[in-house]
Amino acid sequence: MSLLSWKLHGNGKTITPGAVVSTDERLSWPRTIGVGLQHIAAMFGATFLVPILTGFPATTTLLFSGIGTLLFLVITGNKVPSYLGSSFAFLGPIAAAMGAQKNMGAALGGIVFTGVVLAIIGFIVKSAGIGWVNWMLPPVVTGTIVMVIGLNLAGAAKNNFQGVIGGQVVQPHAARLGIITLVAIGLITALSKGFLGRISIFLGLVVGYVVAAIMGDVHTEGITAAKWIAAPTFTSPSFSMSTMILFLPVVLVLIAENVGHVKAVSAMTGKNLDDQMGNALLGDGIATTLAGLGGGSGTTTYAENIGVMAATRVYSTAAYWIAGIGAIVLGFSPKFGAVLSATPLGVLGGVSTALFGMIGVLGARIWIEGRADFSNPINLLVVASSLIIGIADYSWTKGDYTFTGIVNATLVAVIGYRALHAIAKSRGN
């Protein structure tokens, strides 16, 4: 099969009873386009939350998300259906890299660094297999890193919720909007089933945005001035080792996310995709590198799109080509990006309160699914220490290098876990 050709599943109109539309199959093109549009809708909320929260250009992020998805499909030989959207794992390091001066170039340098390292690991996995990654990142460690990345951002969520920038309240109605947004997210989650429940955070943001607009808290000057169609804004990265160190924990999270995605697709389709682990890491690494070079957010595989595949039983990579191309087209609407960039702080506060907490809980989910053994005192000590170091943001500076709480917690989790278990094993424990 050539890269851009798929076998027609049955008559192309219905799915054979008890079967799925496999990765190398497709339904009729109108139906395939419909599934592709569902994938755009599924990724949309989460992909746009990252640039909204970081201040990155939303349309640029969407453009590189679409390009990255197409590259991923090519590199994996159309065997791994996946959409590459904005990764929440970048939120903490981006905030630290940008600092009070909002130095976007520095943050982009960190994203490029992350992508390059991930691509190199992809090459290594292609040659040596995935065993060494599983050894280095057992569920106890991976879950801890993910939880730290989410809960380290609690202070940022609080500032947004209170409308605070630089210690000063700049939006008096922020807390009210934050409560409305958070309640909306909760009600949508409770009242909705299936797809709507999976995008409840984005829908809650829409509710908060509309209420803020009615209250006059949405500044529309930028929206009015933006063009309907134009090229996205591109920004070049700047590089410093002190900044790039901040992004090392993200590499570990992206490894876990990509490996988990490939395993999930293998289980759902009944196809052994272990030989694509390295390609998946390589594809995401190249996509993230490209995004960082042009001003977009770092990317990762998306659980939301796995939900669409499970609901539709359509695993055709053709649908993802439609989604990637659609995202690229939407990336050329500055007016659309301006609407998103005008989101008030209070609304962001409600969203980030839920979202950052969910990232933390995802770490706990990794522990549960990986059957992490907390009756082992070494595991308990490593996790407990890492969490406090990360959440309280224990940081230290040596010359030009600043090691933040996320970095230090990651070092304790990865090195501490292996070192202490090695010592215990040598003592026969």
pLDDT digits (tens, 9 = 90+) for 215-245: 888 888 878 887 888 888 899 999 888 888 8
Q: What is the pLDDT of residue 1?
A: 47
Whole-number Å distance between alpha carbons of 151 and 134: 24
Give per-residue pLDDT as tens, 368-412: 888 989 999 999 999 999 999 989 888 777 766 667 787 888 889
Q: What is the pLDDT of residue 139?
A: 86
Percent of the chain residues past pLDDT 70, beyond the cut: 93
CB neighbourhood size of 90 (10 A): 29
- What is the three-class DSSP state of 164? strand
Nearest to 92 by CA among 152, 167, 158: 152
Residue 377: in which H helix or E strand, if any? helix 377-391
Query: pTM for the complete prediction?
Result: 0.78
Nearest to 392 by CA among 419, 375, 412: 412
Dihedral angle computed from the Cα positions of residues 51, 150, 283 and 243, in that order, rounded to the nearest 10 degrees:
70
Q: What is the pLDDT of residue 336?
A: 76
Task: For residue 229, give the DSSP letter.
Answer: S
The answer to whether 249 touches 149, Cβ cutoff 8 Å, is: yes
Whole-number Å distance between alpha carbons of 275 and 266: 11
In whole angstroms, how large is the CA radius of gyration of the chain? 21
Give per-residue pLDDT as tens, 125-152: 999 888 888 888 888 988 888 888 778 8
Whole-number Å distance between alpha carbons of 397 and 33: 52
Q: What is the pLDDT of residue 386?
A: 92
**Is beta strand 164-165 parallel, antiparallel or unpaired with respect to 168-169?**
antiparallel
pLDDT band at 45 (very low <50, low <70, confident <90, very high): low
pLDDT band at 76 (very low <50, low <70, confident <90, very high): very high
Whole-number Å distance between alpha carbons of 73 and 81: 7
Tokens standing for residue 58: 């939303």
Tokens standing for residue 383: 């996790």
